[in-house]
Each structure stands twice: as structure tokens, then as C-alpha cells.
Chain A
Amino acid sequence: MRPTRILAAAVIGALAVTATACSETKHKGGSDGNDATQSSGPKKKGGTVTIANTAGQTWTCNFNPFNPAVYNTSIGFVYEPLIYVNALKNQAETPMLAKSYKWNADKTQIDFTIRSGVKWNDGKPLTAKDVAFTFNLMKRVRSTDLYALWTTAGLRSATASGDQVTLKFDKAAQPYFYAFAHQVAIVPEHVFGTGAAAAHPDTWVDKKPVGTGPFEVNPCSPNNIQYTANPDYWQQGKPYIQKVEYPAYLDNGPANLDLANGKAQWGSQFIPGIKQFYLDKSPDNHTWSPPVLNVGIYPNLDPSHKMSSNLKVRRAISYAIDRDKVSKIGVGGQEPAANQSGIVTPTFDTYYDKAAVEKAGFDKPDPARAKKLLGELGYSPSKPLKLKIITITGYTDWDASLNVIKQNLKAVGIDLTVQDLAQQTMVGKLYTGDYDLAYYNQQTSGPTPYYELRQMLHSANTAPLGKNATSNYQRYKNPKVDQLLNDYASADETKQVEIVKQVAQYMIDDVPVIPVVEAVDWFQYNTKDIAGWPTEDNPYAQPAAYNFPDTGQVLTHLYSKSAQ
């Protein structure tokens, strides 16, 4: 997780230096955590996993899956979705509470068949009525409709009959499948349909969550949530791990320390100098952080911002940046270099058109071309163009990256000034378009690049200067791109890949955003006792502990080696 890096950097920096000085053993780190014992057969039960993922706050012991402040300690652990969609494996689906589903031809109606024999952890059976109830609850209480299903997605009805649940939409709803099948946690009607929970499902405090998931909360204190295995879990013999400890770390420093010394096995945050600080500490320490999004420069495209809305300037910037160097120096190689097409590789290789990037000359830094473009505007290293970029103070890796970028740009004739702003101020300026250049990333990924591209580029996501834009902060408006993104909804899979490639071509031609490095799912894991982690060779789920419902997948794969 990203919050509160101000101290983290100082803490880790100081510790790393001294700690390496006195550590004797050097080990090779890496993602070779798969050992011979990891096969897919059933495992004996036992073992404890401790998660060190900075919460930045003590736990409130509320597990209401409609409260966005707590959903990642509740969904995946206790509550489950209908279908799990793996963003890392080209949308591979794992049926969860729904055994199967069927779309109608124009993708405006979907029928889920609900799994039989699933029990809530209070012993009552899960039914199709619970599922329909969950969706209808979101209609009744608008603040629980976190994914705007009843508004933006056009959901019109949710009905149950037998073991079937039918959702009807007023337009093709395929792009929302990820939200309603994968992200929405199904809740029991007999709990959320009575008393205080029914009256205020959004503000109700869910202390003892009744879910279908692999774990139960037992007990929760402000410092630590302990989960114990659900003995009647519907996946036979699972979970193998019998206990999960989730201490509430207030800052990255202490969490990273516990990861380094093996007290915690599952980490999900940036560790500066990870090799010395973490990997070298034990041969059991590993890391694998798959890229999912772009971190880059958001130029303000509104004509009132003369320089950033000039295509030549944007292309010059993109040509000038040595992305490999930014990756190496700025983030210690922990986030790979991005590319101008905006397709995150290797995660979404299927959608990546390497030839198009090469053809435009964006496959490697080309300072000469950048110089030429700036020359045409009358700028040169001796008469530089002055530009300002805003970023968030305390994000030390971003500062380091911007330092490299600044040097790159200086060489071609751009004098970049970095303005470190408090997070609130920075996002305020970004949302309202009060900036020239901004260093930022979209916050959420999806199972294909479409989700990020749509957020960045669709004109529905922007707003006039001064008004809050939801995600198209740079104010990009292109009816052709809008049309392509709209067509995606009802297209078949081959056509969808084609559409994404065409949209990526607009990223190359119009340079509406300048991707620099790829944001990753931070993941560190310890294999001393625990095996079954997702790895590069077996990416069965997004590995960071802040991803829900992916945590549910990881937790049902893990097992204790000493218990075998």
C-alpha cells in the first residue's frame, strides 16, 4: 500500500544501511519459491499466516462489506463473490458462489446458477434469494451501490427463481461483469434483511460477519484481527491454513521490519532497497510484484494550458524519457518500464502491439527526436522551455523517478520544476485541472487494459476546468476513442482485443498520457513454513493482500509445510 511513506523511507533507509553491514549470510533472492512439495493435491490442515500490510490505522472491527473503508479485511476472508476473475491470467474465471452463468446474445441479461450446498458460517444455507437480495439492497440504499450498477451500468432488475439469479440491464453490460460478479460480495438476507442492518446497511457495524468465505473473525481487537478457518467451508478440505493474523500496522517501517525478520509472511508494500533489506535476510524471503497499471505524466490538454496541450511538447517529453533508467534508479527496478501505448506488459501481452510502438519510435529513448521537436517550437538546452510538474510529497520513489526525468528533459531543452504537494492539495489540483503536468497513476485496474484506458481516455470521465474530473484528469476528448470504448461492451473477445489495440494507437498518436513506469501489486512472501503462494509461474490471483476478493484465492491455496 502506498500511504504514509514519509517516515517509511527514513526508517528503512537508516535500518537498511546498518543492517546490511552486520548481516553475514548473503542469499540469492527471487521468485523461485516453488518447491517440490507444491502440488495440487489435498493438504493437511494447520499453520498460521501473518499479514504485514500497512493499514495506517487500528482496526475498527467492522466487517460490513458495503463500507469501503473495511472491505479488504472482509471480502475474500469472510464474504465471497459470484465468480472470481483473474486479471493476471487474461480474465481466467473461477466459479465461486455461482456455479455458472449465461449471457443473452446482446449481453443485456445474465443468468447465474447458484452453487448448492454452500452454507453461511451460522449454518443457514446460501440461496439464490440471498444473491438477488444483495443486488436489490444496492438499489434500495444508494450508498451501498459502490460500483454504480443501478445508475451507470444500467442494472434494471435482479430476480431469483429456483437456483437461478437473473440480472437485466438496459444496455450491454459485459464490462461491468468484473464489478458485479467479481467485486460485489454476497450477503445473507437473514442478517442484512432484519433490524438495524436492514435499516442502515451502509452504516451498520458488522462485528461478527456471517459469510460463506474460508475464514471467520475470531477475535478482533484494535491491534489485530485473527481469523480462524471456517470448518464448514464449501470447498472440501479447504482452507488448509487454520489461522490468519492481521496486525494493524500504522506505518510501513514496522511492517517491513516484521517482514524482514520473518515474523510476518505476507507483505504488500513498497520496501525501498528490497534486496539488502528483505531478500538478503533469508533464503525464504521472496518477492514477485506483477505490474497492473501505469504510473506516468498527466499533461493538461485544455487549450488554456498552452505548452502541455501542444502535441509536439508531449511527444518530445515521451521521446526524451529513459524509462529503463527511471525504473532502475527511481524505483530500484521494482516497477518495470512502461511504454507509450499504455498497455501494461507482460501482464496484458495479448493486447500489446509492439510493432506500433516501434513504428512510432517510442520503443527506446530518442533524445535527438525530442530536441528536434522542441527546436521547431524555438526551444533548446540553452533556451529551455520551463515546465512545472506536481507530485505528492512523501512519495520518495516518485521524487527519485522525477529526478531522472528532470535530467532526461534538461538534455533536450525542457527545464522541469517539481512541486511536491500534500496529497490532498495535489489530488485537488489534479481533479479540477489546475496544473500543467502531474505525476500520478490511475488507482484501479481491471482484468484487461480496457479498464485503465477507459478511465484515462473516455470523455465521460472528464469535466471542464474547475470541476472535478473522475479519472480523465488531463481532459482528453476524442469522439473516435469514445466510440471504440463504447463498442467494447457488446464485442466478442477477439474484437475486444482489436479495440484495445486501436485505442492504444491513439495513446501513441495523441500522447494524452505519458506512461513512465508500471505500478505493481506489491507482494513479498516467506516460504519457511508456508507454501502455495501465487508466483510468476502460477499467477492464480493478484498477490497483494489489499486486493479483494483475491485474498480469498490466496488463502485457500496456502498450506503449512510443517503440518504435512
Chain B
Amino acid sequence: MRFILRRLGFFLLTLWAALTLNFFIPRFMPGDPVDALVVRTRGRVSRDALEQMLTSFGFKPDQNVAVQYVDYLGHMFTGNWGRSIGQTLGEPVTKLIGGALPWTLGLVGITTVLAFVLGTLIGTVSGWRRGGALDAILPPIFVITSALPYFWVGLLLILVFSQGTGGWLPANFNYDTTIVPGFSPGFVGSVLSHAVLPAATLLITTIGGWILTMRNNMITTLAEDYVRMARAKGLGSRRIMYGYAARNAILPNLAGFAMSLGFVISGAILIEYVFNYPGIGYLLYNAVQNVDYPLMQALFMLFTVAVLVALLAVDIATVWLDPRARAKG
């Protein structure tokens, strides 16, 4: 229990530090929201009016920084994240994030879990049957594909399955833009078909890492005394493989998995751009491009919280999986 409490304290401290950085870093970045708006409105519009406009939407450059900081910390907790002062001028930040988050969680979240589960399974089996047919084929292939850049794989898939085949699979958007969203079979089908290519891209490029690390962990674990002991006891090979070898081999992978879960929320920016998929990744990109402080702050805060929560969860999971951690706590 003390272990958990200590982790919680650490969690809060890190969160505060991250939020503080999150407040100051954008303000030290080059660029100014008014300049960005001047550029975006093609200089057509009077600078004075734009400054006033940003002020109406909550931009307060002249306010005391300490006051701003305290306000900011309060707002981060109350969910009062303000309005966008970037490209989506005036749109409440919560609404923008609310609109984009489900798409990223759905696409990147499911794919990340899928890649981890599949990768770990393949890694376990190929490590167990070291030198077998599966071990000879899959790991090398996926190690190569995992080294390919996201956007290149994405483009290749678009070329083959969308352009080359005359439009089997859609290459952009998250659903057919002519459909009005709702729980109709057409809409759900459209969402799924639009997710195939980006999901495949992610899967192809991320699964290799899991396979390789799991396979190597398995091989190390298989040489351990407790595995030999289990064999000597005459336990079934399935039991040894999953209960003795894989359970231990997976431990080092968990932290990595937690991290990647945490990063799900920041999305796969390149994938979202290549496939015109309106998730969180492109939202962040645009926020930075347009010096959109409120949106940037809310997004970075979410990323930080997501990673920290994932790490906390993995700490707890480790305690549950690994008796040694319990003993020390």
C-alpha cells in the first residue's frame, strides 16, 4: 500500500511540474498569436481589429504572468480551457478536443492495443519455438516493416488499395463526408472502411517492435532455472509457455506498452495528416502552427496526464504480476 501511495505522490508532483512547464514553454516560443492571425487572414484585415478580436476571445498578453499562471492552473483542473485563438478562432477548446479525441482514441487506441497483443503473442510463440518456421519468417519481416516511416507506408497503401484498385478503400477522412453522422449502418460501415488503411499503416509499422522484444525476452527467460524446474516437474508445455515464461518475459514490455498507450492521445500526427483523419494529432500541429495558446495548453495537459496515468497503471500492474515488487513495497 505504501508503494502505491508513494507512486501517487510522485504522480502529483510530476503533474504539477509538467503543467508549469506547459504554461511557460509556449510563451517562450517564437511567434505571437496576432502575427499568426495577420498571416492567416492574408494581411487583409487591420491588425488593430485582430488584436481586439483575440482579446474578445480571451487573449491577455499584458496581464501579470503570475496572475495568468494561477488562473491557468485553476482552469486546467476545472475544465475551463478557454476558446481557441488560432485557426479555429473562437471555438471552445473543449469542443475542439471533444470532436477530435474519439477519432484518435478509436483509431490509434485500438490499433496500439491490437499491435501489442498480436505482437506479444507472435513474439511468445516464435521465442518458444525458436528456429521454427514461424520464428524464421515473421520476426524478420516485421522488423523490416517497423523500420519503415509511417507516411511512406501510408502512401504505399493508398496507392495500392485506393488509387491502384480504383477506390476499393477510401484514402481520406474518417467517414464519407456526404453522410450525416448518426448511428446508421451506412455511417458505421463508412467509419470502419475509412479506418482500414490508417489502422493497417499503424499496425504494420508498430507490431515489429513488440514481436522482437517479446521474442528476445522469451529466449532469455527460457534459460532461467524456474523454467527448467517446471519442465523437470513435468508440467504441460502450454502452462510453462504462458504461466512461467511469458508471464515473466512480458514484464519489461509493460512499461513500454503503458508509454505507448499514453502517447495514443497525442495521436499519430503523420498518419492523421496523410489520411486526412481529423484526430488529435493534426489539432496539435495546427495549434503549434498558429500559436494557439489555449488549445496547446489543454492538449499538452492531456498528453501529460495520459502518460502519467498510464505509468501509474503499469506500476500497479507490475505489483500484481510480479511478487518481488510486492515484497519490496
Binding site for B on A (CB under 8 A): 3-4, 7, 10-11, 14-15, 18-19, 22, 56-58, 60, 62, 64, 67-70, 142-148, 151-152, 183, 200, 202-203, 205, 219, 221-224, 226, 245, 247-251, 253-255, 257-258, 261, 422-425, 427-428, 431, 442-444, 455, 468, 470-471
Contacts and interface: CB of A to CB of B under 8 A. Distances in A.
Contacts of B31: 422-425, 427-428
B89 A68 contact: yes
A122 B48 CA distance: 34
Contacts of B291: 424
A152 B159 CA distance: 53
A7 B177 contact: no
A148 B46 contact: yes
Contact of A57 (B32, B87, B174): B87
Interface string B133-166: 0000000000000000001100100110001100
A224 B36 CA distance: 25
Contacts of A444: 42-44
B289 A147 contact: no
Residue with the highest number of chain A CB atoms closer than 10 Å, among B31, B38, B91, B99: B91
Nearest to B31: A424
B56 interface: yes
Q: Which of B48, B57, B159 has the most chain A CB within a 10 Å cutoff?
A: B48
Contact of B278 (A203, A219, A223): A223
B310 to A, nearest CB: 27
B56 A203 contact: yes
Contact of B55 (A56, A67, A143): A143
Contacts of B163: 15, 19, 257, 261
B89 to A, nearest CB: 4
| Closest 9 pairs (CB-CB, A-B) | A424-B31, A143-B52, A443-B43, A69-B89, A148-B46, A224-B177, A254-B172, A254-B276, A443-B42
16 contacts: A15-B158, A60-B88, A62-B90, A68-B40, A68-B44, A146-B46, A152-B46, A203-B83, A205-B90, A251-B273, A251-B282, A253-B276, A261-B163, A424-B29, A424-B31, A428-B35
Interface string B25-36: 000011110011
A69 B87 contact: yes
B282 to A, nearest CB: 5
A73 B211 CA distance: 48
Contact of B273 (A7, A202, A226): A7
A68 B178 contact: no
A245 B179 CA distance: 11
Given A11-B274, A68-B89, A143-B55, A58 B99 contact: yes
Contacts of B272: 250
B275 interface: yes
A10 B150 CA distance: 13
B90 A425 contact: no
A7 B48 CA distance: 33
Contact of A11 (B29, B49, B83, B155): B155
Contacts, number: 181
B181 A58 contact: no
Nearest to B275: A254
Given A151-B48, A424-B291, A250 B276 contact: yes
A200 B83 CA distance: 14
A60 B90 contact: yes
A254 B278 CA distance: 12
B328 to A, nearest CB: 47
Interface of B: 29-32, 35-50, 52-53, 55-57, 83, 87-91, 96, 99-100, 151-152, 155, 158-159, 163-164, 167, 171-175, 177-178, 180-181, 270, 272-278, 282, 285-286, 289, 291
Nearest to A221: B181
Given A68-B44, A261-B163, 8 more contacts: A60-B96, A145-B46, A219-B180, A223-B278, A224-B178, A424-B30, A427-B31, A427-B35
B36 A424 contact: yes
Given A67-B89, A219-B180, A431 B35 contact: yes
A11 B38 CA distance: 28
Nearest to A70: B89
Contact of B53 (A18, A143, A253, A443): A143
Nearest to A7: B273
B151 A10 contact: yes
Given A7-B274, A250-B282, A68 B45 contact: yes
B68 to A, nearest CB: 20
B33 to A, nearest CB: 10
B159 A15 contact: yes
B178 A245 contact: yes
A245 B87 contact: no
Contacts of A253: 273-274, 276
Contact of A222 (B37, B90, B276, B278): B278
B177 A203 contact: no
B289 A423 contact: yes
A241 to B, nearest CB: 16
Contacts of B181: 221
A202 to B, nearest CB: 5
A14 B35 contact: no
A254 B55 CA distance: 35
Contacts of A251: 273-274, 276, 282
B46 A62 contact: no
A148 B276 contact: no
B282 A202 contact: no
Contacts of A258: 172
A45 to B, nearest CB: 19
B276 A68 contact: no
